[in-house]
Structure 1
Amino acid sequence: MIHKNNYLDFAICLEKFFSDYLIKERGASNHTIRSYRDTFILLIDYLSKEKSIKPYNICFSQIGKECVLEFLDWLECKRDCTPGTRNQRCAALRSFFRYIMYLDPTHMSQWKEICKIRLKRYVKGSLAYVSVEALKCLLDYVPVDTRKGRRDLAMLTLMYQTGARVQEIIDLTPASIRLSKPFTVELLGKGSKKRIVPIDGNSMELVSCYIKENNLDDCAKRVFPLFFNCWGERLSAAGVAYILEKYYSMAKKEHEDLFPDKISPHVLRHSKAMHLLQSGVNLVYIRDILGHASIKTTEIYARADSKYKREALEKAYVDVCNVHTECEWEKDDKLKQFLKSLA
């Protein structure tokens, strides 16, 4: 391994972190690898723009605790990242430098200082979701007279009906769809966990027509991307977000009172969970549909819905006060006469 200024080579260590540690040793999911990859792309971009350090000149001696803190602040201030995103990037960097401790213990104090950087505390916003009425309104703006519009409608409908994460929708193939009854979709979630989600006949009709229109029912195309761009390539997360934002902007312009200030593919997932909860579906089933590892994660929807909590309290209400303006014995004339005779 090449040494520079008594430090290990940054590029070689970064490559080993991904290929040896994340992929071979930990068996990290594609989602985790992409998230870590994006963190280091941003770090390299920061060092190049703000520190004038070209990618091929990056050295560990230039990356200390102060540099990492400045990078995290840059994410928030210059790139308008949320504190949650900042913490996600910070966690990825701490994981990398914990790995470097074993490769280069001679600079242990430097790596420990970086690993001791705390995650930023912040007030989490309320859970964003849209009503059934708003969702119908949004989908009404998707044109069905164009090939691309029919793709968008099938994709957004399927995303809502299954409560899928955006990456789960992107990873779908024609083989993931069961076109015969009972209609189901097989989703590949976090940690490479598969789950089967049932969908209704109307939604399946949209997806089925889309599959036939694009010849995706051909056996040779079973593993092709279900939703693809004009080059036949799998859609990106940014591409899906752009499609949703396009129709959201059109709908919000005319029905502003129906929609939140912002929308994202994850808002559709939250909306599905809230609508299931409001329909009386048990949290255990909602957990399984969303693919949560623990029901504690699913409980955020019960906590977010004040109407649901109020109705649950009203159903369970028991009048324990038993307060009356007039006592029962006072209504009984014979009883009152008897009591008076005792005096």
Structure 2
Amino acid sequence: MPDRDLIGPWLRRFLTEYIVSERNLARNTRASYRDTFKLLLPFASRKVRKPIERLAMQDLTSALVLKFLAHLEQERGCSVRTRNQRLAAIRAFARFVGSRDPAQVEWCSHIRAIASKKAMLPPVGWLSREEMEAMLAVPDRKNRRGQSEYALLLFLYNTGARVSEVTQLKVRDLTLDRDRGGHDLATLHGKGGKIRQCPLWSETERVLAEQIIGRAPEAPVFLSRLGHAYTRFGVYRLVERCAADVPRLAGRAVTPHVIRHTTACHLVLAGVDINTIRAWLGHVSISTTNIYAEIDLTLKANAVALCEVGSPGPKRRWKEDKDLMAFLNGL
């Protein structure tokens, strides 16, 4: 069988050339695509009774892909959103193959015709200002470890950074220039290599300056108790542990992403423009940021009050408004 008919050579090109060199996708996206095929290929091998290295493009039929997606939901217990995420990776692979081999165009069209399932978006969880301040008060700042944990939590709240952006933060990414008349900024490296800068509060600048004393520019900003850079798991564990020590947060799932939502919601409540919040959080589309404008009941109540039925109208007719008439006559 020619190599161009086998899945293996195409998949190697897709994962090592296309998504890395041509698309420059984020590291987490690459890992997600890789994991999709780590699940799909053994499943397909069992169904068609072929070794993985002998699987052909035509073995990966739309019917088999649908069975795989059902397997994810029913046997592995994955959510609809995870199912759709795996399907997106398979579609991207089909599009890649179809764009480079005309003989595979028909196969590509069958795979790309598989529809995504409608998934209900989960409600956005966020913390009130009092709850966030209670979490910040948990670390014992009398010792070095507590100071480091407080700095990390405060940085998450200040910037609304993703976990990956926090774990990748280096000393060289901090610009602490307020004393020299400049601005305190953190340069965050986000999804797809996108870079943005977030202003830092004076308190955040103070605790970060203490953390990075004597460190090289390439050193990580946040270190665990063992002196190593924080991992994703370490950041999640810290947030969960601090939330567990706040009685009013009992039974609630608090993650670093909840703190990111909290930052956005507090910016909305402070009257910050939604497009500014989009840039602050590093969203590509403002439609992603719009969810934060819809979740606060106070904003909704104020909007309803503006158009309340039966509200008293003006006491005078417009013709009796002498100032208005004078204005119109003077035009």
TM range (shorter): 0.7 to 0.9
Letter in 2 for 1:275: H
8 Å Cα contact 1:130-1:260 kept in structure 2? no
Q: TM-score, normalised by structure 1?
A: 0.77
SS of corresponding position for 1:185: strand
Say whether residues 1:183 and 2:202 are aligned partners.
no
Tell me how far 1:193 sits from its aligned partner: 2.6
C-alpha change, 1:115 and 1:230, in structure 2 (3 Å) is farther
Look up the match of 1:285: 276
Inter-partner Cα distance in structure 1 for 2:116 and 2:88:
8
Distance 2:167 2:50 in 1: 35
Matches of 2:300 and 2:242 in 1, distance apart?
A: 32
SS of the aligned residue for 1:142 comes to coil
RMSD (Å) for aligned C-alpha atoms:
3.3
Which residue is equivalent to 1:263? Answer: 254
**What residue is the counterpart of 2:290 in the other structure?**
299
CA-CA distance at 1:17 after TM superposition: 0.8
How many pairs does the alignment contain? Answer: 311
Compared with structure 1, are the counterparts of its residues 245 and 91 closer, same or farther at alpha carbon in structure 2 (3 Å cutoff)?
A: same
Q: Check conservation: 2:33, 2:86, Cα contact below 8 A.
A: yes
Which structure 2 residue ranges, 5 or more long, are not aligned? 316-331
Deviations 1:179-226 (A, max 9, x none): 2312211112234232211111112222222222xx42xxxx312333
Seen in structure 2, the aligned counterparts of structure 1 residues 245 and 115 have a Cα distance that, compared at 3 Å, is same
1:135 equivalent in alignment to 2:126: no
Contact between 1:128 and 1:260, CA under 8 Å: does it hold in 2?
no
Q: More deviation in 271-280 or 76-85? A: 76-85
Q: Match for 1:275 among 266, 269, 283?
A: 266
Matches of 2:49 and 2:271, distance apart in 1: 57
More off after superposition, 86-95 vs 225-234: 225-234
Which residue of structure 2 aligns with residue 161 of structure 1? 158
Going from structure 1 to structure 2, the CA distance change for 1:81 and 1:40 (only over 3 Å counts) comes to same
**For structure 1, which segment, 196-205 or 68-77, has the greater mean C-alpha deviation from structure 2 after superposition?**
68-77
Helix, strand or coil: the match of 1:224? coil
2:217 equivalent among 210, 219, 222: 222
The Cα of 1:274 is off from its aligned counterpart by: 0.5
Match for residue 8 of structure 2 among 3, 11, 24: 11
8 and 223 in structure 1: CA distance in 2 versus 1, 3 angstrom threshold? farther
Letter of the 2:126 partner, please give it.
Y
Give the letter for the 2:284 counterpart.
A
Q: Which runs of 5+ in 1 are unaligned?
A: 325-343
Q: 2:232 aligns with which of 228, 231, 237?
A: 237
| Residue pair 2:97, 2:104 contacting (<8 A) in 1 also | no
Matched to 1:279, the amino acid is: A
Shift of 1:260: 6.8
Structure 1 counterpart SS, 2:121:
coil
Q: Which runs of structure 2 are paired with 1:1-343 in the superposition (5 Å)?
A: 3=2, 8-44=5-41, 56=53, 58-144=55-141, 147-181=144-178, 182-212=183-213, 215-216=214-215, 221-228=216-223, 234-251=229-246, 254-255=247-248, 258=249, 261-314=252-305, 321-322=312-313
In 2 relative to 1, CA 279–175 (structure 1 residues): closer, same or farther, beyond 3 Å? same
Query: CA separation in 2, counterparts of 1:50 and 1:142?
Result: 52
Conserved? CA contact 2:48–2:59, under 8 Å: no
For 1:151 and 1:306, locate their aligned partners in 2 and report how far apart those are by CA, in whole Å.
35
Per-residue deviation, 1:22: 1.9
Residue identity opposite 1:3 in structure 2: P
**Cα distance in 1, alignment partners of residues 225 and 53 from structure 2:** 35
Q: State the one-letter code of the partner of 1:43.
A: L
Aligned-pair CA distance for 1:289:
1.3
Distance, in Å, in 2 between the alignment partners of 1:233 and 1:42 is 32
**Change in CA separation of 1:59 and 1:241 when aligned onto 2, cut-off 3 Å:** farther
| Structure 1 residues 234 and 106: alpha-carbon distance in aligned structure 2, compared to 1, 3 A threshold | farther
- Give 1:135's aligned amino acid: M
Shift of 1:61: 4.6
Q: Secondary structure at the match of 2:92?
A: helix
Partner SS for 1:27 = coil
Give the AA of the match of 1:292.
H
Q: Percent identity?
A: 31
State the secondary structure of the residue aligned to 1:304: coil
Structure 2 CA distance for aligned equivalents of residues 290 and 177 of structure 1: 17
Shift of 1:307: 1.2
TM-score with structure 2 setting the length: 0.79
Q: CA deviation at 1:296?
A: 2.9
